[in-house]
A = this chain, B = another copy of it.
Amino acid sequence: MTVATLTSEAKTRSRGRPREFDMDAALDSALRVFSKRGYHATSISDLTEAMGLASGSIYKAFKDKRGVFLAAFGRYRQLGRRRLEAMIASAETGRDKVFQMVMYYTELSYGEAGRKGCLVVGGANDFALLDEEAAAHIVTAFAADEKLMADLIRIGQADGTIPKTVDPAAAALAFLCFTKGLRVIGKTGRSREEMVSAAEAAMKLVT
């Protein structure tokens, strides 16, 4: 037993009985059910079943349902950002980095991943209205994406792969809407081919 958390535990061992469950695995289970069913349609029972924890343990570890969502949300963003940055780093030019970012979301917009949905997009629809702090988390997540996209566009303009005539702020916001829309439409079960062709069409935004 006594499996310590992995990513979250670089710190010293605390007093008292040590946590038995794997925090990251538990959060992965939680975010899976949250993103598929949404915040309000997810019950504590759903979470106990998915996470393999009793309700008492969940409340001890996360304070309340909102706390579970926030923790899962944090992990979701962290993992997503890591994968996204890896894809961007694999591209040479600014324009190709933009394309890789668009493709990152495109690959999440069909089949199983598409149906699972996006925790941020879904959260904007029901979690954000819990309170202002919750809403701020959603806004922050969108803003990070928007800023990254704007940065990539400027890189493209610097290396000559994206015309200087493109307004980075406007194009970044347009891409943000497009990629979040991908996740919405992805819930309805479209084919990879359709979504990729839409993504390729969207690249006209940086011509």
A-side residues, CB < 8 A to B, are 36-38, 40-41, 117, 121-122, 124-126, 128-129, 135, 138-139, 142, 166-167, 169-171, 173-174, 176-182, 184-185, 187-190, 194-195, 197-202, 204-205, 207
Contact = CB atoms under 8 A, between A and B. Distances in A.
Nearest to A200: B170
Chain A binding site: helix, strand, loop or mixed by DSSP? helix
A113 B113 CA distance: 30
A62 B187 CA distance: 27
A37 to B, nearest CB: 6
B201 A128 contact: no
A71 B118 CA distance: 27
Contacts of A38: 38, 40, 125-126, 129
Contacts of A139: 188-189
Contact of A125 (B121, B171, B174, B194): B121
Given A40-B126, A41-B126, A207-B207, A198 B185 contact: no
Nearest to A130: B41
A188 B126 contact: no
